[in-house]
Chain A
């Protein structure tokens, strides 16, 4: 009986160790997008965003921790903003000015969300001025690649943005 108990204990420890190890490895495998990134090109060329929304920012400042990604950028409207995306899948909600469809600026609610898809990070941004943005972020050959989709009451847009350090 004592031997059987020892075996069970060892198996349990092994399972725990494997689980922790795999989780750590998975966490480590996620790319770190931190850094200051300069826009080097867009496809289609000179992609303009959509009515002042999703306009490629010349510079992105990205900070990443295990809990969140913070992006400082001009892509959220006429004034650069710092926006936080939580990496646990929960919503981040706050109020801030935004350009409205009628061209005015109003205080609106903002919401962000993020989720990993393999080594790609999908960032969602919405606000109640009817702006939506979905960025699929990855690193390829040292470049930060963003596949962007935007939605507004006007035309939808799609583009690929390339940033280098």
Chain B
């Protein structure tokens, strides 16, 4: 067992930005200019300030009088095929304030799914310009009794490119065909939660990641306090974790990333403000304290990128837990984030962050001459089995 402490410099890098500009200040100081220097206080790192009108389909409105609510997830299969997971649309006030940018976060609504969201356009696919290319409205009904999709993924090792969608409030994980026409598998039991020792039911699962052989791990989640390991076919193999603060115990295991050699499972123990590291059978290896990620991503260059819920910082760790770089800042202006909930990157180096309280998904393009080590590189997806070209 090993408890790793962040270096003072690393800790300062992660924390200082949020101390420098607290949440309420960030909301109020809309006339501030965004730092472009990098380092502590850096807002967008080696990325340009995002275009506030991306994705164009949803800006200013997906339909008159309505805006997107909470944005649970985003997954970039390619620069021209980006999946967005929306937690429904919200009706705007009759009088919309001047300068309204089209994001629910503008109203300073912590709970972006209230008042009750209309579960429409919950799963959509856009291209690089944000133009709508697919709306999976045939599945909107799946989300009517919950709060919408939590996150969306494609396994990097799957030549069929099935699309996985986690629905935490309805306690299930869906697997769709790549085109969204068929729902081929549902893990868990719809609307029924199970306890920590129940391998047939989840209790508000949150996130998935895969090994190259198709074995996958589910963080479960808001209600339970465990990780469940499945085989490629979706058969539950084992689980580990219990409620608590000790090694191998969790309080809201919310994010998960798998990688390294030998492979390890990195779990965001969000409520305990740490990342815990395990082998693939759940043996505790070490913990990295001081960060409470909503989401994590195993990058192509084998680093863990973590999206911190405490500071809204995007933090790059090596697989030993050393912080190499961070950027990001709480706020609702372009480039700032409010609860970035899923992180993904495409093969062009574009970064995408979905925001559950900001109510938007932002696309960050690399700056000219960006340092490649400061960009998020998503894992390459396995070539498509039947030679699709997207």
User: Are A101 and B222 neighbours in the complex by a CB distance under 8 Å?
Assistant: no
Chain A CB within 8 A of B204 CB: yes
Kindly supply a per-residue 1/0 record for chain A positions 108-121, scoring 1 wherever the CB is within 8 Å of any chain B CB and 0 otherwise.
11010100000000
Known: A128-B145, A130-B169. A156 touches B113 (CB 8 A): no
Most B Cβ at <10 Å: residue of A106, A111, A132? A132
Known: A128-B144, A151-B204. A100 touches B115 (CB 8 A): yes
What residue of chain B has the Cβ atom nearest to residue A115's Cβ? B192
Do A130 and B223 contact each other (CB < 8 Å), given the known contacts A151-B193, A156-B204?
Answer: no
Q: In the complex, how many angstroms separate the beta carbon of A52 from the nearest chain B beta carbon?
A: 14
* Interface presence of B116 (CB below 8 A): yes
Complex Cα gap A142–B113 (Å): 43
A41 within 8 A of B: no
CB distance from A159 to the nearest CB of B (A): 13
Residue of B nearest to A107 (CB): B116
Assign chain A's interface to a size class.
20 to 34
A residues in contact with B270, CB < 8 Å: none
Chain B residues near A108 (CB-CB < 8 A) = 116
Contacts of B223 in A (CB 8 A): 151, 156
Chain A residues closer than 8 Å to B116, beta-carbon distance: 100, 106, 108, 128-129
In the complex, what residue of chain A is closest to B223 when comparing beta carbons?
A: A156
| Contact in complex: B193, A130 (CB < 8 Å) | no
Are A153 and B147 touching (Cβ within 8 A)? Answer: yes
A149 at the interface (CB under 8 A from B): yes
Interface majority SS (helix, strand, loop, mixed), chain B = loop
List the A residue with the shortest CB-CB distance to B271: A155
Instruction: Answer yes or no: B109 CB below 8 A from chain A CBs.
Output: yes
In chain B, residues 92-118, which have Cβ atoms closer than 8 Å to a Cβ of chain A?
Answer: 109-111, 113-116
In contact, A130 and B115 (Cβ under 8 angstroms)? no
CB neighbours (8 Å) of A102 from chain B are: 109-111, 114-115
Tell yes or no: B191 within 8 A of A by CB.
yes
Are A126 and B145 closer than 8 Å at their CB atoms?
A: yes
Q: A93: nearest residue on chain B (CB-CB)?
A: B145
Q: Does B203 contact A (CB under 8 A)?
A: yes
Residues of A close to B109: CB separation below 8 A:
102
Q: Majority SS of interface residues in chain A?
A: strand
Residues of B contacting A129 with CB < 8 Å? Answer: 114, 116
Contacts of B203 in A (CB 8 A): 151, 156
Given A102-B109, A130-B147, A151-B193: A156 in contact with B222 (beta carbons within 8 A):
yes
CA distance A119 to B114 in the complex (A): 39
The residue of chain A having its C-beta at the shortest distance from the C-beta of B117 within the complex is: A128
CB <8 Å contact, B204 and A100 = no
Q: Which residues between 168 and 199 of chain B lie within 8 Å of chain A, taking CB atoms?
A: 169, 191-193, 195
Shortest beta-carbon distance, A49 to chain B, in Å?
A: 15
A140 at the interface (CB under 8 A from B): no
Could you say which residues of chain A place their CB within 8 Å of the CB of B114? 100-102, 104, 129
A148 is an interface residue with CB less than 8 A from chain B: no
Given contacts A126-B191, A151-B169, A156-B222, is CB(A111)–CB(B145) below 8 Å? yes
A47 within 8 A of B: no
Instruction: Tell me the smallest distance from the CB of B274 to a CB of chain A, in Å.
Output: 18
On whether the beta carbons of A101 and B193 are closer than 8 Å, the reply is: no
Q: Which residues of B109-164 have CB atoms within 8 Å of chain A's CB atoms?
A: 109-111, 113-116, 144-147
Binding site for B on A (CB under 8 A): 100-102, 104, 106, 108-109, 111, 113, 124, 126, 128-130, 132, 134, 149, 151, 153, 156, 158
In the assembled complex, 13 residue pairs joining A and B whose CB atoms fall closer than 8 Å, in A order, are A100-B114, A101-B111, A102-B110, A102-B115, A106-B116, A126-B145, A128-B145, A130-B113, A130-B169, A151-B193, A151-B222, A153-B111, A156-B204
Binding site for A on B (CB under 8 A): 109-111, 113-116, 144-147, 169, 191-193, 195, 203-204, 222-223
For the complex of A and B, 7 pairs with smallest distance between CB atoms: A156-B223, A102-B114, A101-B111, A100-B114, A102-B111, A101-B114, A128-B116
